Structure 1
Amino acid sequence: MDWVERMNKAIGYIEDHMTDAMDYEAVAKIACCSVYHFQRMFSFIADVSLSEYVRRRRLTLAAFELQNSPIKVIDLALKYGYESPEAFTRAFQNLHGTTPTAARSTGIKLKAYPRMSFQISIKGAAELNYRIEELKAFSIVGLQERVSTNIVSTIIPDLWANAAKDGLFERLWEIRAVDHPMRGILGACADGDWGKNEEFHYIMSIVSQQSPPEQMIRRDFPGATWAVFEAEGGPEGIGEIWERLYTEWLPTSGYDLAYLPAIECYLPPAENNNELWVPVVKKGDKQEGL
């Protein structure tokens, strides 16, 4: 239950700081993972983004205050982090379908989003194929793009489509490290400032010992332990594995996520499957953040 306890403590921190500038790094630290992983984990489990959860909860609490106190709208807007009463009113109306002033009246319909809590849910017995790999330090070389976590599902497929048209994958294949276990075209989710601006770097890449060609970058990885999950089909299969990693494997595996980028590995079509490489540490082991 350690994982469940940490997630609920992270929610507790969020709830205790609803009227403060939200420190997502502190939240992720409580959950023992990077901000990027916490945001993805939260979205997969809750089916809503972390930022949207915070927005809904703040506007829920604001509605309660409007109906139960004489607080002014301008003071309420500032309390919940809005720069102006106008911005607060727009957000409030988008969620509740009415203005803050009208919300004080009896008979007005409002929406309430309750505090979230986590628990382990017993699901079906579908197998999840994985292995643990110990890798020495290695480097990837590829094309790096800045991506907002709010548009991941739409922008990344476009990045891959454009890369295919431009012949990126053929160029990467020519410089690959032939004998490395991570042997496909890679999609690495990486950034030392994970979560600060709700953005990260996505690198379409290959494991390589060569210097990066023009317009490409090189990123070095230290030696680490990796959990490697088999995913059938294309990107949809990888997406399913991400969800099962967070909701099924991680809570009971004896491992925590390490402070290193995770990597989606797309193997040659003849192999009929792909892989998700996730850096992990055994629970209780100390690790340094990026």
Structure 2
Amino acid sequence: MNYKIIERGSFQVVGVKREFSCLNGENLREIPNMWKEVHANGTSDLLVELNNGEINGLVGVCIDKRAMKPEFMDYWIAAEYDGPKPEGLEVLDIPAAKWSVFEVHGAMPDSMQNAWEQIFSEWFPSSHYEHAAGPELEFYPKGDPWSPEYYSEIWIPLK
């Protein structure tokens, strides 16, 4: 797996969020449906317009809620944004962190889901890093996410 380690100060994203169960792979089935809906209803276009941060594209944000609500997570479709809260969207602060940024190559959603599996089944067990508390990010730049040549990233906070 190709990856790099970066450090980044805190930043803010705006977007929409939903809660998903992680039981029986429900999140793996329903998050792609959320993306389809956000593309169809114009929310993704609005987020692209609002995007004014270092991360130039859309961001999927995964927040593990198992400590409070076993087997659940929040998933955001968002954009990095510095400014007042836009109407109809929510704001999430991403804390400063050291990140492992993994390259993901290929069509969505399979390439992203396969990369997640490989990171946790292969990379973490063989690396000297541990997962830090905090949100995980999926970065989706401009382009055709269903193309076999599509490039995206997974950002995981480290300790």
- Unaligned 5+ segments in structure 2 are none
Q: Residues 84-117 of structure 1, C-alpha deviation per residue, up to 9 Å, x if partnerless?
A: xxxxxxxxxxxxxxxxxxxxxxxxxxxxxxxxxx
Q: In the alignment, does 2:50 pair up with 1:175?
A: yes
How much is the aligned-residue C-alpha RMSD, in angstroms?
A: 1.7
**In structure 2, the residue corresponding to 1:177 is in which secondary structure?**
coil
- Give the share of equivalent positions with the same residue, in percent: 31
How many Å apart are 1:165 and its aligned residue? 0.7
The aligned counterpart of 2:38 is 163
- Unaligned 5+ segments in structure 1 are 1-127, 282-290
Match of 2:139 among 260, 265, 290: 265
Alignment of 1:214-253 (within 5 A): 214-233=87-106, 234-253=108-127
The structure with the greater share of residues assigned to strand is 2
> Are the aligned partners of 1:142 and 1:212 in contact in 2 as well (CA < 8 Å)?
no
> Are the aligned partners of 1:187 and 1:203 in contact in 2 as well (CA < 8 Å)?
yes
> Are the aligned partners of 2:6 and 2:101 in contact in 1 as well (CA < 8 Å)?
yes
Q: In the alignment, does 2:16 pair up with 1:138?
A: no
When the two structures are superposed, what TM-score results if normalisation uses the length of structure 1?
Answer: 0.50
Structure-2 separation of matches of 1:219 and 1:208: 10
**In structure 2, the residue corresponding to 1:196 is in which secondary structure?**
coil
The aligned counterpart of 1:124 is none
When the two structures are superposed, what TM-score results if normalisation uses the length of structure 2?
Answer: 0.88
Q: Aligned pair in 2 of structure 1 residues 160, 227: CA closer, same or farther (>3 Å)?
A: same
**In structure 1, the residue corresponding to 2:14 is in which secondary structure?**
strand
> Are the aligned partners of 1:175 and 1:210 in contact in 2 as well (CA < 8 Å)?
no
Q: In the alignment, does 2:152 pair up with 1:274?
A: yes
The structure with the greater share of residues assigned to helix is 1
Q: Aligned pair in 2 of structure 1 residues 230, 153: CA closer, same or farther (>3 Å)?
A: same
Tell me which of the two structures has the higher relative contact order, counting C-alpha pairs closer than 8 angstroms and 6 or more residues apart. Answer: 2
Amino acid of the structure 1 residue aligned with 2:110: E
Aligned residues: 152
How many Å apart are 1:280 and its aligned residue? 0.7
How many Å apart are 1:192 and its aligned residue? 5.3
Q: Aligned pair in 2 of structure 1 residues 197, 247: CA closer, same or farther (>3 Å)?
A: closer
Q: Highest CA radius of gyration, 1 or 2?
A: 1
Q: Aligned pair in 2 of structure 1 residues 254, 228: CA closer, same or farther (>3 Å)?
A: same
